[in-house]
Each structure stands twice: as C-alpha cells, then as structure tokens.
Chains A and B, each alone.
Chain A
Amino acid sequence: MSRLQVVSGKGGTGKTTVAAALALALATEGKRTLLVEVEGRQGIAQLFETEALPYEERKIAVAPGGGEVYALAIDPELALLDYLQMFYKLGGAGRALKKLGAIDFATTIAPGLRDVLLTGKACEAVRRKDRSGRFAYDYVVMDAPPTGRITRFLNVNDEVAGLAKIGPIHNQAQAVMRVLKSPETAVHLVTLLEEMPVQETADGIAELRAARLPVGRVIVNMVRPEVLDAADLELVRTVERSSVAQALSAAGLGGARRGGNAEKLVDPLLDQAAEYAERYALEQEQRTVLGELDLPLHELPLLAEGMDLAGLYELATELRKQGLS
C-alpha cells in the first residue's frame, strides 16, 4: 500500500469527502494518517465540523481501534516563507518580503513554484521519521486539485524546469518527483456515474499515465442504490397497468378500479420508473466506460441524509470493506 495517497476528481464529485474517508479508513487499528489540503478551501474543517485549520498539523479525528487522523491545510505563502527560512535564515526580512507582497508575488507568478511548495510539504511528511526512526505518519492522504489540473500539479519537475533551472527550488522539485513517481505514491480519481466526470476521469488517467505518474484506483462516489434491477426494468416496459393497480390495492393503497386511489398512483409511479430506467441506462453506459480503464474500481453509496461526520465514518468503513486500506 502506497504511503502517499493522492485523491483527485472533477469538481463536485466529492474528492475531499473521499480523501477524508480514506484517511479515516487508513488510520484504523492504531495507524496514524495525515490528511493534507492544498487548495485553501478549508473543506476538511467543514467536513470534520471543526474551525478553520491553521498551517500546522493538528489531530482532527480518532479512528475505530485507536488510530488517529491529523490534518494540515498547506498555505503556499507560509510554505515559501518556511523554505526561505530553512535555506537563507531570513528572519525579519521574511516578514518584510511578505509585507511587500513579494511572497504573494512569488507564489502567484509561478504556478510551478506554488505546486512544488505544496507537493514538497506533503512529501516531507511522507518521509519524516521520529527519533526512534519510525515514520511520523503511516500514510499521507492528499486532497489534491481537480482532475483537469492534477497531472500538471504533480508533474512539478516539468513545470519548474522551464522556470527554475538551478537553485534550491529546482533541487526540491527533483526530490519531490522521486517520491511522486515511485510506488510510494498512488493517485486515485473520484468520479460520478455521469458522462462528464467519467470523460474527465478517462482523460485524466491518460494524462497521468503519459507523465508516468502512478495511477491507483477509480472511486465512483455517490452511487444510488439499485432499487429496480434490469429484470424489473424489463417488466416495467411490458407490465399491465391494471395488474400494478391490483398489486397496489392489495398492498392497502386503495381501490384498483379506474379512478380508485391505487389506480391513480400507477401512472406517476411508472413515470418515476421510466426516469429511473433512463438514468440506469446512462449509468450502466458510464460503468462500461470506467470498466475499460483497466483499473481497480470501487463504489461508494450516496448517503441519503447528505454528508456529515457520521456519514464520513460510514464511507470509511465501506472503503475498508472494499480493501482500500
């Protein structure tokens, strides 16, 4: 199991949720994981129902069996100041630079620089060891930028090559790339069973593979329960309205005769089934496309009551059941 688990996905597919659930799943049985956020959205804090995360590693959850989840929201400006401090012992000058807007400037003008700082911080956490020589974290899970930008984000080496050919940032990029392209890393993509996210997932995987970044798994999120199966849907198309009315009536929903309460339910219920059938067909189509990607495929259920902390534990359990941790 790779120690750096990167989770990406099209916007709106719930990648932050999946990343958090994965961090929880990996933390069970006394393990310690770090959940890293890189886009400054404070999505992790929202999910775990805590106040905004500072730029420091902080315990945010306890997993079943005594494991711990830490979280870190990486702020690229502060990360750059960290580096400047590390390499140049800037002290007060660092603050002056910040005041001048130089830090903002530096992290803004060069998207590559920004990305090196973000991935660099995550890789540092992956490699960090405590005094006894044990890894500080068993796993690091990164809530990464969306699929459309993930390859560019992770492929910092190429990105920075054009900008910084020498110097500490260049060296940093090299070190980061060694971790990211190794089996130590796995990039997972979160999708929905809808046309656009699936297309974007397929494109993203092709890009990751072309950049020789290690693709992990595809996680289909928010999968609706199968209320009617293929056989039911076949029957929906041919069934007599009257026999459905009779069944409804038998179930205690009123008269089956024309105009009876049960009879009046038949059309709306069959309409809903037809809508379901249409979506079902589209979803099956997308499943086929995902199947052709030749990657381990996992499905997480849509939580009927919306996403909350309890739901997160539920998803973590599901991930464990499916062998993701």
Chain B
Amino acid sequence: MTPDTLERAVWTRKHLITLNELTREEILFILDTAESFKEVSTRSVKKVPALRGRVVVTMFFEDSTRTRLSFELAAQRLSADVIDFAEKMSSTQKGESLIDTARNIEAMGVDIMILRHPASGAPLDLTRAVNCCVVNAGDGQHAHPTQGLLDLFTIRERKGRIDGLNVAIVGDIAHSRVARSDLVGLLKLGAKVWFVGPPTLVPRSFEQLGARVTHDFDAILPEMDVVNMLRIQKERITSNVFPSVREYVKLFGLDRQRLTRCKPDVLIMHPGPVNRGIELAADVADGPQSSILRQVTNGLAVRMAVLFLCQQAAGHPAAAARA
C-alpha cells in the first residue's frame, strides 16, 4: 500500500465508464482501496456493512460467468441488496429500449447499475438517462475498466511495481475491450505495452493509442515481464480475418517450449475463459508463472472498491457536478 496516494486523492466520480478519464492518482487510489478490501474475504464473516440498505442491479446484455458473479459477490460482501436483470426473460424481448428499461429499474430505487452491453458507449448513454451510479462491466469493443484495474492490481501485487515493466498483450486485439482497458491503465502507470498478433487482428493503427505493435511474438518474448494472453473468440476462428488454428497456435500460442524463452519470473495472465491448447497450453495455464486464478480473486476486491467508491461519491456535490 502507498499511503501517499491515500493521503492526497479524493474520489469524486459516481460512475466508472472507462480508465481513459481517470488520472494516474485516481487509478492508484482504487488499487490502494482494493488492497484494504482483500482482507474482508479472509475472515470468518466475509461481509462489511458499507453498502447496507443500498440496491445494486446487474444488467448483462451479453453472456458472462465470472464478471457477473464477481460483481454480485462484491456487492453482497458490502451488504448491498443485489437484483439481477435477466435480459432473455425480460421486456427487452418485447422491444423495450435499454434506456426505458433502465429508467424503470431505477424507479424501483436502485443505487448502482452494473451494465454489460454489446454496443460500445451504452454505459455512457446510461449515465445521461439515470441518476444512480453506473459501472461499466464491458461494452462492445470499447472498454472493460474493472478487468483493466484487476490486471493492474495483479501485476503490481506480483511484480511490486508497474512503472518500467514490459507487457505483451497477445491475440485478437482488434475486437478486445480488455486489451484497450489494459493499455490505457498500463500506459498511465508507466509500463511499455506491446500488442502482438497477426496483422488482421492487430492493425498498426493501434500505435496511435501508444501501443507498440508487432506480429513477431518470438522476437520480443525474452524482454517481457508480463504476457497477457487474450482469449481467441471461437466465432472469429471461422472468419477470414483469422489464420488457421494450427498456424495461430504455432505463431502466437504460449506453450512450454515458448515459455523457456521468457524471463524466468515472467507473469502469465489471461482474462478467461481459457481455450486450453490454443492461446495457452494447459501446463502453462496451470504453471507457477500463471496468475489466472489470482486475477479472479483480485477482481472481487477491485470490484468491491469500485462499488464502494462510486457509492460514496454519489452523495457528494463535486460528483454531481462532474456527472
């Protein structure tokens, strides 16, 4: 924990939409706050009363296992009441718009909305339509800020720092909101980031966002401190932007052979769910360098911190002015 950050920073945002709008100090403040929430999960009573009497709704318009469960558990550990909006059984099937649905849910007295949506920008739209807090749980190809934060948290925990680290993010960058959120957070905290993959999935245009782009994984591998392997989405494998699976595994898959060329203390990450044998070999995914399960554990503490801070800011005049 860095007491300096806790001393200076005051959190005044009631929404978390992307990491772009956050300062370096605000990101560190969330990470430091999350640090203090880790302890809650280790006690006999795994609950604190910070959000007692508050209502949190999860609205997921895309499939998700760990993100939804992680948010729900985070809210419950803060003693909030959690309700779950199931899109497939709802009036959106009758044509109700997202905004109308959200306004109706808000009218029931909701304090925090957690939204995952296939359309990039949907959470930002939502902030203009409702008064409660909005937390982005992933929108289209745009952003997944809590995944970005938990990746930063895990890197800092394992490496002791982020500043000056070399980080490779490998896979389908073009369609990845995780890659974008990781990039933004890592650059703000002083890391160097390489985007790695075939040219069809990693266009050069990403250099404009501050990433280094390469199509030669093996060339940069020995210099990397962290390698984050993104999931290859099955639906893209059949499209013509994707090489054959065999070719992909040969060039960009991380197996034991390739791992021997990495730094011995390299940190292997994956946002899950893993396609074993494609982007990650099973023995690498379960090996000592892997932090995959640690990321999931840390995700809970990070999401508790985000829910707590946004709710705390909601009653504050500075947050109202900013929203």
Do they bind each other? no
Chain B positions within 8 Å of A, measured between CB atoms, are none
Spell out A's residues near B (CB within 8 Å): none
